[in-house]
């Protein structure tokens, strides 16, 4: 007896994250396995975990097993078929970083949609081509399965126009030069969780801090995004693992004109050599920096915390106050010291953190008397994709019936 499943794929420049969910019945998709192929095309490695509480297993791969995204997917599928021979992929859900100005929700990918995604590639040149490569690889491996695109920008597409524009000639806005915001799948998940566990907070003024190697913050009012720290690209806003975050555009002119760097040099610097890595000269891993005994590492952390606190003040002003601050992402969910430093001396905004709750990674880490609830909620972008894939598959089957 076969089990209908959805695969979720998140294709990066040299990685492929995947998961498999059982979508039988009317309930929530149930996780069966997840994993990642890292360093595709160089020294590939496969990490897998079966079930929600299964132990993570890691093994190195031969170069031929992951020379590109298609072969990496084939390797991952080989493992999944070995573990779950009864599974049959009915739908494949893809994380697509950029949906442009028009995609406001997940869609079934047909030839016209795929061509539109290719046209959007200049808006996210370091992400979109790899997302498309994942779609094309999945179409080869699953020619009969429905392919679904879930956009990181979609959650933000209904925010107010004042948070959608840059103060440049209006013609460029019409051409798509706008503040899009990203990490939307994560924010959608957190907003949904809040609706279940704290409906009154969900209906109010919430700031979510998605802090990881990629980092951003989002102001959410009654479940709707009204402002985000990321803008036209995932480069803007907070400093990240290797990305610079907010920067004066004049710095770019200076690097091009006075330092003699090429456009590609500047792009690589701002995306791959900046952020925590660039400031510390040591690592983009917050765990390494917290344990380092060098002033450059401390300064990188200081800057990271400072920018988060500054953006929190701006988002609070946008919302007219904050009812809840939610941390998620690898750093947000695990870095006790970073959360403590961000929330320090913020009683003026109603934030008071309980030290013991923070150190135990409790769901609620604010004190009993804190006017603003401070929470830690692990995010789950893959489940958001699986839900959308299951829903669109059901709609597709109804249309065919």
Q: In the structure, what pLDDT confidence band is assigned to residue 42 with cuts at 50, 70 and 90? A: confident
pLDDT in tens, 186-240: 999 999 999 999 999 999 999 999 999 999 999 999 999 999 999 999 999 999 9
Of 122, 151, 180, the residue that ends a domain is 151
Residue 98 · residue 180 · CB < 8 Å: yes
Residues 58 and 123 in one domain: yes
Q: Which of 152, 164, 236, 323 is catalytic?
A: 152
Say yes or no: 18 and 142 in one domain.
yes
Tell me if 180 is assigned to some domain: no
353 in the same domain as 220: yes
pTM of the model: 0.94
Together in a domain, 234 and 350 = yes
What does the pLDDT look like over 96-131, one tens digit per residue?
Answer: 999 999 999 999 999 999 999 999 988 888 788 889
Same domain, 112 and 222: no
What is the rounded distance in angstroms from the CA atom of residue 87 to the CA atom of residue 84?
Answer: 6
Question: Is 152 among the catalytic positions?
Answer: yes
Residue 385: inside a domain: no
Does one domain contain both 115 and 239?
no
Contact 322, 349 (CB under 8 A): yes
Q: Which of 120, 151, 182 is the endpoint of a domain?
A: 151
Whether 147 and 255 share a structural domain: no
Q: Count of domains in the chain?
A: 2
What is the pLDDT at residue 247? 98
pLDDT in tens, 163-180: 999 999 999 999 999 999
Asked if 90 and 228 sit in the same domain, the reply is no
Check whether residue 121 and residue 262 sit in a common domain.
Answer: no
Give a yes or no: residue 222 inside a domain.
Answer: yes
Range of the domain at 55: 3-151
Same domain, 141 and 253: no
210: its two tokens: 């998605």
Q: What angle do CA 96, 184, 244 make, to 5 degrees?
A: 85
* Any domain includes 372: yes
Nearest to 78 by CA among 94, 98, 62: 62
Matching residue, tokens 């990918």 = 109
CATH number of the domain where residue 77 is located: 3.30.420.40
In a domain, 184, yes or no: no
| C-alpha span between 7 and 56 (Å, rounded) | 19
Checking DSSP bridges between strand 87-96 and strand 56-60, what pairing results, if any?
A: unpaired
């Amino acid at each position: 007896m076969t089990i209908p499943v959805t695969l979720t794929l998140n294709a990066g420049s040299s990685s492929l994250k995947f998961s498999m969910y059982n979508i039988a019945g009317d309930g929530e998709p149930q996780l069966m396995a997840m994993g990642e192929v890292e360093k595709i095309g160089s020294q590939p490695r496969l990490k897998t975990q079966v079930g929600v509480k299964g132990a993570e297993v890691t093994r190195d791969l031969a170069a031929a097993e992951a020379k590109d995204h298609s072969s990496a997917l084939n390797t991952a599928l080989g493992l999944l078929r070995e573990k779950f021979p009864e599974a049959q992929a009915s739908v494949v859900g893809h994380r697509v970083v950029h949906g442009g100005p028009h995609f406001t929700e997940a869609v079934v990918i047909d030839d016209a949609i795929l061509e539109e995604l290719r046209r959007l590639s200049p808006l996210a040149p370091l992400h979109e081509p790899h997302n498309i490569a994942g779609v094309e690889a999945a179409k080869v491996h699953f020619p009969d399965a429905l392919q679904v695109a879930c956009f990181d920008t979609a959650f933000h597409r209904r925010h107010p126009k004042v948070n959608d524009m840059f103060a440049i000639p209006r013609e460029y806005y019409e051409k798509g030069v706008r503040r899009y915001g990203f990490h939307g799948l994560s924010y959608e998940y957190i907003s949904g969780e809040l609706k279940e566990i704290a409906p009154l907070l969900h209906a109010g003024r919430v700031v979510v801090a998605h802090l990881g190697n990629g980092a951003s913050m989002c102001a959410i009012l009654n479940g709707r995004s009204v402002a985000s720290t990321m803008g036209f690209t995932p480069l803007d806003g907070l400093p990240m693992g290797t990305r610079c975050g907010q920067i004066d555009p004049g710095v770019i002119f200076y690097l091009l004109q006075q330092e003699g760097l090429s456009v590609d040099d500047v792009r690589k610097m701002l995306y791959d050599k900046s952020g925590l890595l660039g400031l510390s000269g040591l690592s983009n891993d917050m765990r390494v920096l917290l344990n380092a005994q060098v002033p450059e590492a401390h300064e990188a952390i200081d800057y990271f915390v400072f920018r988060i606190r500054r953006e929190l003040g701006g988002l609070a002003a946008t919302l007219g106050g904050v009812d809840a601050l939610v941390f998620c992402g690898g750093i947000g969910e695990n870095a006790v010291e970073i959360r403590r430093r961000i929330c320090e001396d913020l009683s003026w905004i109603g934030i008071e953190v309980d030290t013991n709750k923070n150190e135990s990674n409790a769901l609620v880490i604010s004190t009993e008397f804190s006017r603003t609830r401070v929470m830690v909620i692990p995010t789950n972008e893959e489940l958001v994709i699986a839900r959308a894939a299951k829903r669109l598959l059901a709609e597709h089957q109804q249309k065919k019936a």
